[in-house]
Structure 1
Amino acid sequence: MSKTLVLQPLPGIGDMIWHLPHIAAIAAQTPAGTVSLAAKPSSHADQILADAAHIVDILWLEPHHTHGPLGFWRLARHLRPYDFTEAWILHGSPRYAAAAATAGIPLRRGFGLGWQRPWLTHHAGLAAADRRMLSDRKAAQLIPRHGGTLDPTPRFRPAADERAWAGREIGAMDGRHVVLGIGASQKFKQWGIANFAATIAALQQDHGAWVHVLAGAAEKEMADSLVAGAPHPERLRVHLKQSMGRCAALALAGDLFVGNDSGMLNLAAAAGARVVGLFGGSPPLDIYPDLIAVTPPDGHVTYQVDRMDDITVAQVLAVVERAWRQPVSFSRRDEMA
């Protein structure tokens, strides 16, 4: 058990990926080079950080720790037996800072905006205008302020057995391999079955490509429909409910990953795969050097405003062909220019 606790309570896979550099930077400042992490099960932190030497253990934040007026008290009771001496709170809510204080953790570092500040012993010095910044951007200011150094680019390396599995899945089949991430946590990030089906048809008919579909339980029906409608179903593989490491390894082993703004996209990009991301309801990510962002043709994207259908199949295919022809790093501005 590390004496330093990092609280990263955002629920998504992408949220956890975004904060990997920050968690590692905090661990590097501790005497033992390790931290304990408090996170929500939906983040899949246990899989993402399974081989991370700087993570001693993971404490799950269950709904009763975070919901209701007594949530902070229940969380404090959950934390108290561990005798942490320091807590880093990578979230703006006062709930987690109050819980850390009530648990008797003497050093408490956080963003320090609004009602969170009185519960902290150290804060990031952010101004009220910084409230709308994303959590990882706030954390990027907090860590250097307290002596740490940070490379903000998330990196995730699948384990050797996961890379070997991906090699077996792809290595025996000649031709180009495109991995599709069809899932999305919100409707305004979902490109839709018709667009993915048309993309698969073009990839198979015009390029003879193998297509690999990454799908969770929620996307099984969609994946089955894509197989049924594919012109060459024998060249389409559905990888259902695979581990985080296997998903990242498959994206890395393929020639290209194409997908919605999702946890799978973040995994693929952090693993170092060449990624084409579809951003019609959320701003393009700018933290991955090899991510090619595709937006509606006019480039206008507003969070939660669904313009995914404005991204055309022809537009995506043109970007795919461009990526195949030019083996260099792309940035978000390349596609938005």
Structure 2
Amino acid sequence: MSKPLEGGLRPRTLVVHHRSGIGDLVWHLPYLRAIAERSAGGKASVMARPSSRAVDVLAAENWVDEVIEYDHRPRKSEHRKGRHDGFFAQLAFIRALRARRYERIFIFSGRARYALMAVLAGIPQRIGFGFTALERLILTEQAFIQPYTGPGNWVFPEATAFSIAHGLVDGPVVPRMAVLPDALAQAEKDLRAFPPHRHAFSIGTSEARKNWGAPRFAELAAHLLEEGIAVVLLGGPAEADAARAIVEATPSHLRGNLLASTQASIQRSAALLRQCQFCLGNDTGVLNMAVANGVPSLGLFGVTPPLAHDPLLHALVGEGMSAIHVDDVLRRMRELHAPGLNGV
């Protein structure tokens, strides 16, 4: 278990979130909160990649002291150089960390680079996964974990094992997300005139191979709309064209109960999810946000292993996304008693 500093004072704490995705950050939420509870003032700072959208995801979390973006080696799909790539940019970033005088760092990663950065930033208490001999040499706490080798995605199991090893939690904690009150009020207002049964579609994806495709989403939307179920299309600005294609492929007489929201605000998307009773779609951030906001969901997993961290998240698995047909999705939704479908 990690220890307070000398004198029993709670340390000023920085948490490193290494993963790139929005969903990855959502999975870590209960463990980040647990760290903050044991830190100075009940708060902690979070160092995260821009692609995780940490500033927006954590906007309603009252335990966050500061979000520090670490823009190093962006995803290849972003086609750009990171602000902190290069030797001198790294040194400047480390100097900025040193100026904040953190006393403890939790590193949700097995990368030795972060532990070395902590040493150079003068952070005395360094806690990480300890996957390599070099990392273990630099860390100050000896409760190391082993890489996850079980079925499915490894990110949540490793974050859980790390948190258990350091006495933050007794077992896995299902993630739940906080949402800004103003965003919730606006979403309620915007959907007030829609039918009471509302289904959200997670149409975005970080990889084209994980995308079910606009034509299938449009076919499914038309079926649900015919049954009196409102459909909310959720994604970021990159999904604007896909959302437009879905809307245009939907019969014009049904479009009144179809809302497309492809904007940048994570809080806006989360608030709209709170107004829905079901979510389905691609394996991406919105799907993880849905269950983290208490919305039962069906994920379409054609090329990635199904997620199993939350009992609200169900899976439909296929040999490739093209192997998952609309009838398959409707059948699974009926099995799950999706609200409004065939009178359920």
- TM bucket, shorter chain: 0.7 to 0.9
Aligned-residue offset at 1:32: 2.6
Hey, what does 1:38 align to over in structure 2?
47
What amino acid is aligned across from residue 144 of structure 2 in structure 1? G
User: Aligned partners of 2:98, 2:189: CA distance in 1, in Å?
Assistant: 47
Match of 2:144 among 125, 134, 137: 125
What amino acid is aligned across from residue 110 of structure 1 in structure 2? G
In the alignment, is residue 253 of structure 1 matched against residue 266 of structure 2? no
Contact 1:247 1:268 in 2 (8 A): no
Hey, what does 2:201 align to over in structure 1?
180
Match of 1:319 among 303, 327, 332: 332
User: Aligned partners of 1:176, 1:70: CA distance in 2, in Å?
Assistant: 54
Hey, what does 1:77 align to over in structure 2?
95
Hey, what does 1:274 align to over in structure 2?
296
Aligned residues: 316
In the alignment, is residue 27 of structure 1 matched against residue 46 of structure 2? no
Hey, what does 2:69 align to over in structure 1?
60
User: Aligned partners of 1:130, 1:199: CA distance in 2, in Å?
Assistant: 36
Task: Give me the identity figure in percent.
Answer: 33
User: Aligned partners of 1:191, 1:123: CA distance in 2, in Å?
Assistant: 44
Match of 1:87 among 78, 94, 105: 105
User: Aligned partners of 2:173, 2:336: CA distance in 1, in Å?
Assistant: 25
* Consecutive unaligned residues in structure 2, runs of 5 or more: 1-10, 73-81
Aligned-residue offset at 1:31: 4.4
User: Aligned partners of 1:148, 1:126: CA distance in 2, in Å?
Assistant: 14
Residue deviations 1:125-171, cap 9 Å, x none? 22467699723322322223223225521101322222222222222
User: Aligned partners of 1:221, 1:51: CA distance in 2, in Å?
Assistant: 29
Give the TM-score, by structure 2 length: 0.84
Hey, what does 1:238 align to over in structure 2?
260
Contact 2:195 2:229 in 1 (8 A): no
Structure 2 residue matching 1:278: 3-state secondary structure: strand
Hey, what does 2:212 align to over in structure 1?
191
Residue deviations 1:69-111, cap 9 Å, x none? 6675444223111111111111111111110011111110000
Residues 310 and 83 of structure 1, relative CA distance in 2, 3 Å threshold: same
In the alignment, is residue 285 of structure 1 matched against residue 342 of structure 2? no
In the alignment, is residue 228 of structure 1 matched against residue 248 of structure 2? yes
Contact 1:91 1:135 in 2 (8 A): no
Give the TM-score, by structure 1 length: 0.86
What amino acid is aligned across from residue 99 of structure 1 in structure 2? M
Contact 1:179 1:212 in 2 (8 A): yes
User: Aligned partners of 1:65, 1:230: CA distance in 2, in Å?
Assistant: 42
What amino acid is aligned across from residue 99 of structure 2 in structure 1? P
Contact 1:166 1:249 in 2 (8 A): yes
* Consecutive unaligned residues in structure 1, runs of 5 or more: 301-306, 328-337
Contact 1:4 1:35 in 2 (8 A): yes
In the alignment, is residue 166 of structure 1 matched against residue 195 of structure 2? no
Once structures 1 and 2 are overlaid, which stretch shifts more, 5-14 or 124-133?
A: 124-133
Match of 1:14 among 14, 23, 39: 23
User: Aligned partners of 2:50, 2:182: CA distance in 1, in Å?
Assistant: 23
Hey, what does 2:167 align to over in structure 1?
147
Contact 1:251 1:273 in 2 (8 A): yes
Contact 1:111 1:123 in 2 (8 A): no
User: Aligned partners of 1:32, 1:23: CA distance in 2, in Å?
Assistant: 14
Hey, what does 1:331 align to over in structure 2?
none
Aligned-residue offset at 1:309: 1.1
Structure 2 residue matching 1:174: 3-state secondary structure: coil
Aligned-residue offset at 1:252: 2.1
User: Aligned partners of 2:195, 2:94: CA distance in 1, in Å?
Assistant: 55
Residues 270 and 36 of structure 1, relative CA distance in 2, 3 Å threshold: same
User: Aligned partners of 1:325, 1:23: CA distance in 2, in Å?
Assistant: 32
